[in-house]
A = this chain, B = another copy of it.
Amino acid sequence: MSDRIRHAGLREKRMSAEQAAALIHPGMTVAMSGFTGAGYPKAVPQALAARIDEAHARGEAFRINVMTGASTAPELDGALARAHGIELRLPYQSDPNLRERINAGELNYIDMHLSHVAQYTWFGYFGAVDVAVVEVTAIDEAGHLVPSSSVGNNKTWLEQADKVILEVNHWQPDALDGMHDVYYGTALPPNRKPIPLVHPDDRIGEPYLRCDPDKVIAVVETSAPDRNSPFTPPDAASKQIATHLLDFLAHEVRRGRLTPQLLPLQSGVGNITNAVLAGLGEAGYRDLTAFTEVIQDGMLDLLKRGVLRMASATSFSLSPEGIDEFLANVDFYRDRIVLRTQEMSNHPELVRRLGCIAMNGMIEVDLYGNVNSTHVAGTKIMNGIGGSGDFARNAYLSVFMSPSTAKNGAISSIVPMASHVDHTEHDVMVIVTEQGLADLRGLAPRQRAQRIIDQCAHPDFRPMLQDYFDRACRESFGKHTPHLLGEALSWHQRFVETGSMRM
């Protein structure tokens, strides 16, 4: 299996996952690859979880701090969470087992902007990184690393960690070679220079990751697939949301605020986004671009049909069918896809310069346009803010989307006051539900409230929201942002107590 390890010195460092996991000790800070279920190490974390289980069975404490690019998979977050092996986790997760532990208060989780992770590490804000565990596709003769299906924070982990464990995954296609763009022009203030990217397809770096071979303490060979969630077709609500958003984009083109090529698209992951992407194809758009975090199945289809001219991201998140399609036409896609480090894919400087159209999901929005992306009832974390803040804050257009209700209608996504705020009223331009679209640009708080109630609220909750707003306009302490403080969170409290926000 070793034709993927072409550097002689590193070939000598091959060992089993168990041997490599034995080099990770309690209390260490371990930085791992992985972004949206792609490119995470498959073997060492599981071996480490087994090692932690054994230590715990002996009555010994064993927990580590885990940093990644973003979400991983059951083999990493799931395994370590089930072993009670995580003391601190950042910056994003979506694993059911890990989520449960976090919300039980068993471990510390720092939910942060994905563009901030690399630089906060460089700045020393997280202390030393003891070990990096990074999946790669191959190692060339000179020791350069061909990145895997995500780049994420790997450049930073390889530079900052004292020691490095590499997983060479034979399942990752050789054809990934040449798709990546790793920018080595970063620096710490006061020595930073402008980032020389002016188009979403500009290549400003190198195709390979650098790594000092002397730091590598283990090379583990694997052959295991990425998480590869199957593609689920959009449901009716997602299609309605997409229709409203597409109507709006067409309106903006007619008004001359967007050209027919729009501007670089950023989109979160999931059903609604897939419906929007599909709708762009149906609406006749051509030569669009994407400057985003994740390449999903829908984007391959748009690339193939010329709807998308190119896509820049930091990760692939494809279904098994998507991977087959990618491999069958890899030369075509290699010309049209760039995978960057996440400090570049999400960089505020680039998002603002390019003028991205940021389209992200949300948990809830309040009457005044404050968006909660992370917390159910203000206290339970769902996944994390991810890149939504990096993009929304600096976008040409910031759009947040959700069905107007959740839990079979028990929860309204439009609430009097957001129970947690990830995107403030200052950063939110457009809200879309299956009911309609509220364009909040140029509106003051009370105007926004009426617009959101009229356009986005579910009819079952609309009278309750209107009643709250009307009474708040009469009785609020201040009338710039009217609220009844004793009632503002009562919908969430009712949900916690009864399982429903309904009266």
Contact = CB atoms under 8 A, between A and B. Distances in A.
Interface of A: 88, 102-105, 108-113, 116, 120, 123-127, 188-190, 192-196, 198-199, 255-257, 261, 263-264, 348-349, 352-355, 370, 375-381, 385, 389, 393-394, 396, 417, 419-427, 441-444, 446-447, 473, 476-483, 485-486, 488-490, 492-493, 496
Contact of A353 (B192, B196, B355, B419): B192
Closest 6 pairs between A and B when the two form their complex, measured CB to CB: A189-B355, A380-B478, A105-B479, A194-B194, A108-B444, A379-B478
Given A105-B479, A478-B379, A190 B123 contact: no
A441 B489 CA distance: 29
Q: Is chain A's interface secondary structure helix, strand, loop, or mixed overall?
A: loop
Given A105-B473, A193-B353, A379-B485, 20 more contacts: A88-B444, A105-B480, A109-B444, A110-B442, A113-B427, A116-B426, A123-B396, A127-B442, A189-B263, A190-B263, A192-B354, A192-B355, A194-B353, A348-B348, A348-B352, A376-B477, A377-B478, A378-B485, A422-B424, A486-B493
B478 A419 contact: no
18 contacts: A103-B478, A104-B479, A105-B446, A105-B473, A105-B479, A105-B480, A124-B255, A190-B355, A192-B352, A194-B198, A375-B480, A376-B478, A380-B478, A381-B480, A389-B424, A421-B421, A422-B424, A424-B424
Contact of A190 (B112, B193, B354, B381): B354
Contacts of A496: 477, 485
A488 B426 CA distance: 23
Contacts of A420: 481
| Assembly stoichiometry (copies) | 2
A349 B353 contact: yes
Given A189-B396, A198-B193, A263-B190, A112 B426 contact: yes
Contact of A110 (B103, B427, B444, B479): B444
B421 A424 contact: yes
A443 B65 CA distance: 12
A380 B473 contact: no
A346 B492 CA distance: 37
Contact of A379 (B255, B421, B477): B477
A479 B103 contact: yes
Contacts of A492: 485
Contacts of A120: 441-442
A475 to B, nearest CB: 10
A423 B393 CA distance: 12
B195 A426 contact: no
Contacts of A442: 110, 120, 125-127
A312 to B, nearest CB: 13
Contacts of A198: 192-194
A380 B485 CA distance: 12
Contact of A195 (B112, B194, B447): B194
Contacts of A125: 441-442
Contacts of A257: 123-124
A156 to B, nearest CB: 15
A123 B442 CA distance: 11
Given A375-B478, A380-B480, A478-B379, A421 B370 contact: yes
A190 B194 contact: no
Contacts of A447: 108
Contact of A352 (B349, B422, B478): B349
A102 B189 contact: no
Nearest to A395: B189
A415 to B, nearest CB: 12
A398 to B, nearest CB: 11
Nearest to A263: B189
Contacts of A378: 417, 481, 483, 485, 488
A95 to B, nearest CB: 14
Contacts of A261: 190
